């Protein structure tokens, strides 16, 4: 394992006063599992080069040449297209950091080319947005509610931070600092002669806090706080869609455009890690509860309405019309991750949500070959018409999922420090939040390094072994391993000794403090029975229906495995036995579920009728036939021939 860059962290909370956790750099964890590691290799070798070609073919790159005066063609695409380029730069940077041994030279060359295009397009005053270049230069900052200028700037800043942390180059960071300085000079209190406005699409908040963490320049933190405090005053459209109806400190429900909502809350969580603001923390906790308990899908997806790509009312969660945008799920991961960093609690609520959303709401957004994408992620497809696409006119999702896949190792582990007594002695803690086979090199806050090797087939199997393979200036530390809230019956071993049952309580972390030695092994054995899940009674779409989960994975029934009739007519009885088995030949070696079920056709008399008198309807139970049901993980559906799919099955 080559020496990774210790600065290559997604969120740098090393000096964040109110953050409990420090993330581990993305290059410090080298995954070798059969699910995520292949996705990362495909991302590096197929997805990112393919996206570069689309950025070129759709004119997104030429727009930068045009802004630099090197191309005379008209602007191509939509006014926010710069953001797609910036997300690609961020994704490529993290991919090169997390997989340097697999990196192809041509990807680095592509990245260098794009970075130079961006550098050349910047104006002398630091401003950079290709839509407002040349003939539109006089329209800068005139329509923040709709034109995404600060949103694009935020993605540029995040790309620049990834570029310097992953590759050590300040070339793009210099561009980002000049742009951020221009923003600081332009926006702020009217009493200082500045513009009291913010963007209709949150994003700049996260970026400015992270730029403060990277540079130490307090102006950027204060600017992020200004943009957060100005929301709810009507300066960005004055509606829920743009997150501009209610001041954030007073907000208690998730409303409006789902992506904008979680992006804003992620930025607020970043701010809370730097400043002591109990009102913001209370608002975030209330909105998180609103989302998780009333306004999110079993997959972790959010945004139930096509209209406005928005949250609906409480329990408004249609399946076939679920919007559940891939970008929204990515935003959930970003927000929940930042909430996790704030508090070193021993419960597993937040990492459980992060894991469920990653597997069931993010990964379905990209095909197994890395070249096709979902924008929306419905939980039922009536006729097989919902298929992944190679690109979109609004192409926010493809580069967004590429950057999250490139960042994946950075979400697996953190460290924290506790202080004890009047002596203020420090004690280091290593947290393992997610599980996948690989080698983990974890820098401790006090300067030591713990090396671990994790052996597991998770999430297909619940057997997890963590071996201490190296200790540098480390020994006495606490190891925290997550026991998911669904993991009843989990047991643990330390070397040859069985751990007390109380140490493996579902929904908590297994906690072991000792003077560790190389060769020590901790084993978790997490049972993975198939679980039948039902919805809150007010989720009308799921009345009388059941969904299947095994481990963290949501399953679905797809026509490709069930050529037995309409999947909507499948009935799963509550007492039927469901078995799980590995299928090496199927969809990248997945575990599938099998059960005897029934297929129920409508009773006689319904041909040509939509409504009938109850008294004239007879349910003909003789019309049911026994069938063999096969369910696959939802994250891999639509990778074969087109056909109906459903997550929620009828109960009997």
User: In this structure, is residue 389 part of a structural domain?
Assistant: no
646 assigned to some structural domain: yes
CATH number at residue 448: 2.60.40
C-beta neighbour count of 346 within 10 angstroms: 13
Tally the domains of the chain. 4
Is it the case that residue 168 has pLDDT exceeding 60? yes
Burial of 412 (0-12, 13-18, 19+ CB in 10 A): buried
pLDDT 10s digits, 577-606 = 999 999 988 898 999 999 999 998 766 677
Percent of the chain with pLDDT over 70: 96
Note the pLDDT of residue 7: 78
Q: How far apart are CA 608 and CA 75, in angstroms?
A: 53
Are residues 495 and 365 part of one domain? no
- Do residues 69 and 108 both lie within one domain? yes
**Residue 309 annotated among the catalytic residues of the structure:** yes
Residues 260, 235 share a domain: no
Phi, psi for residue 615 in degrees, rounded to 5: -65, -20
Q: Looking at the structure, tell me whether residues 166 and 236 fall in a common domain.
A: yes
| Inside any domain, residue 267 | yes
Examine the domain organization and report whether 40 and 182 are in the same domain. Answer: yes
Q: Based on the fold, state whether residues 253 and 331 are members of the same structural domain.
A: yes
Angle at 287 between CA 286 and CA 289, to 5 degrees: 65
Domain boundary among 189, 213, 245: 245
Range in 101-110, 229-238, 373-382, 425-434 with the lowest mean pLDDT: 101-110
Average pLDDT over residues 113-125: 98
Structure tokens at 128: 């950079």
Same domain, 267 and 165: no
Q: Are 249 and 278 in contact (CB under 8 A)?
A: no
Q: Which of 371, 392, 420 is where one domain is finished?
A: 371
- Same domain, yes or no, for 121 and 269? no
At residue 423, does pLDDT exceed 50?
Answer: no
Q: Measuring CA to CA, how many Å separate 355 from each of 33, 352, 383, 434, 466?
A: 16, 5, 30, 7, 19
Full DSSP string of 435-455: --SEEEEEE-TTS-EEEEEEE
Phi and psi at residue 145, in whole multiples of 5°?
A: -60, -30
In whole numbers, what is the pLDDT of the chain averaged over residues? 94
3 state DSSP class of 533: strand
Say if 358 falls within a structural domain.
yes
* pLDDT single digits (tens) 481-536: 999 999 999 999 999 999 999 899 999 999 999 999 999 999 999 999 999 999 99
Q: From the candidates 152, 214, 325, 396, give the one annotated as an active-site residue.
A: 396
Spot the catalytic one: 90, 197, 205, 309: 309
Same domain membership, residue 284 and residue 143: no
CB 297 within 8 A of CB 379: yes
424 has pLDDT over 60: no
Helices 105-121/60-67 angle, 10° precision: 40
In a domain? residue 387: no
CA–CA distance, 495 with 493 (Å, rounded to integer): 6
Is position 556 annotated as part of the catalytic site? no
Flag whether 519 is in a domain.
yes
The answer to whether residue 6 sits within a structural domain is no
Range of the domain at 170: 33-245
Contact (CB, 8 A) for 89 and 114? yes
Mark whether 56 and 172 lie in a shared domain.
Answer: yes
**Whether 141 and 231 share a structural domain:** yes
The pLDDT assigned to 1 comes to 42
pLDDT of residue 265 exceeding 60, the answer is yes
- Tens of pLDDT, residue by residue over 37-63, are 999 999 999 999 999 999 999 999 999
**Domain match, 49 and 111 both:** yes
590: left (phi over 0), alpha (psi -120 to 50) or beta: beta
pLDDT in the model for residue 600 = 84
Global pTM?
0.96
Q: Of the residues 471, 504, 525, which one is the last residue of a structural domain?
A: 525
In a domain, 13, yes or no: no
Choose between 163 and 652: higher pLDDT.
Answer: 163
């Amino acid at each position: 394992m080559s020496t990774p860059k210790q600065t290559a962290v997604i969120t740098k909370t090393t000096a964040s006063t109110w953050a409990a956790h420090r993330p581990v750099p993305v290059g410090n964890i080298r995954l070798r599992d059969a699910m995520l590691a292949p996705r990362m290799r495909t991302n590096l070798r197929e997805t990112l080069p393919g996206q570069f070609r689309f950025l070129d073919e759709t004119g997104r790159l030429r727009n930068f040449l045009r802004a630099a005066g090197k191309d005379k063609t008209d602007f191509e695409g939509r006014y926010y297209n710069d953001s797609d380029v910036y997300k690609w730069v961020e994704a490529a940077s993290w991919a090169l950091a997390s997989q340097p041994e697999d990196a192809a030279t041509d990807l680095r060359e592509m990245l260098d080319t794009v970075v130079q295009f961006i550098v050349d397009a910047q104006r002398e005053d630091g401003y950079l947005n290709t839509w407002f270049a040349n003939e539109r230069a006089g329209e800068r900052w005139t329509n923040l509610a709709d034109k995404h200028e600060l949103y694009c700037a935020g993605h540029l800043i995040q790309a620049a931070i990834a570029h310097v942390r992953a590759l050590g180059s300040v070339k793009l960071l210099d561009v980002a600092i000049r742009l951020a300085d221009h923003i600081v000079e332009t926006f702020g209190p009217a009493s200082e002669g500045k513009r009291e406005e913010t963007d209709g699409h949150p994003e700049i908040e996260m970026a400015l806090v992270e730029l403060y963490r990277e540079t130490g320049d307090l102006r950027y933190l204060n600017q992020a706080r200004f943009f957060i405090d100005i929301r709810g005053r009507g300066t960005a459209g004055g509606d829920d869609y743009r997150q501009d109806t209610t001041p954030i400190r007073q907000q208690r429900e998730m409303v409006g455009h789902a992506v904008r909502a979680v992006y804003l809350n992620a930025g607020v969580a970043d701010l809370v890690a730097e400043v002591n603001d109990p009102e913001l923390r209370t608002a975030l906790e209330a909105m998180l509860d609103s989302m998780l308990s009333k306004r999110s899908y079993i997959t972790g997806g959010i945004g139930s309405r096509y209209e406005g790509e928005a949250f609906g009312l409480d329990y408004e969660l249609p399946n076939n019309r679920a919007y559940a945008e891939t970008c929204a799920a990515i935003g959930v991961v970003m927000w929940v991750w930042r909430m996790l960093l704030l508090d070193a609690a021993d419960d597993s609520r937040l990492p459980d949500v992060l894991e469920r959303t990653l597997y069931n709401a993010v990964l379905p957004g990209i095909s197994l070959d890395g070249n096709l994408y979902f924008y929306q992620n419905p939980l039922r497809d009536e006729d097989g018409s919902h298929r992944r696409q190679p690109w979109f006119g609004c192409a926010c999702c493809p580069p967004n999922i590429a950057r999250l896949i490139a960042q994946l190792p950075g979400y697996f582990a953190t460290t924290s420090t506790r202080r004890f007594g009047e002596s203020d002695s420090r004690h280091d803690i290593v947290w393992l939040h997610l599980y996948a086979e690989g080698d983990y090199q974890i820098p401790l806050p006090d300067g030591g390094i713990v090396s671990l090797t994790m052996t597991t087939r998770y999430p297909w199997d619940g057997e997890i072994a963590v071996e201490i393979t190296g200790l540098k200036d480390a020994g006495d530390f606490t190891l925290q391993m997550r026991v998911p809230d669904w993991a009843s019956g989990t047991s643990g071993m330390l070397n040859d000794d069985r751990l007390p049952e109380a140490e493996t309580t579902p929904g908590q972390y297994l906690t072991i403090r000792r003077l560790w030695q190389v060769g020590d092994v901790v084993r978790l054995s997490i049972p993975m029975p198939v679980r039948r899940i039902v919805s809150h009674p007010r989720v009308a779409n799921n009345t009388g229906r059941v969904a299947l989960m095994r481990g963290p994975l949501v399953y679905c029934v797809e026509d490709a495995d069930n050529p037995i009739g309409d999947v909507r007519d499948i009935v799963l009885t509550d007492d039927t036995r469901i078995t799980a088995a590995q299928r090496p030949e199927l969809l990248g070696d997945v575990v599938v579920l099998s059960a005897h079920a029934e297929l129920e056709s409508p009773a006689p008399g319904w041909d040509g009728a939509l409504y009938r008198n109850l008294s004239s309807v007879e349910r003909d139970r003789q019309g049911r036939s026994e069938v063999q049901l096969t369910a696959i993980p939802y994250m891999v559906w639509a990778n074969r021939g087109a056909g109906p799919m459903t997550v929620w099955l009828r109960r009997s």
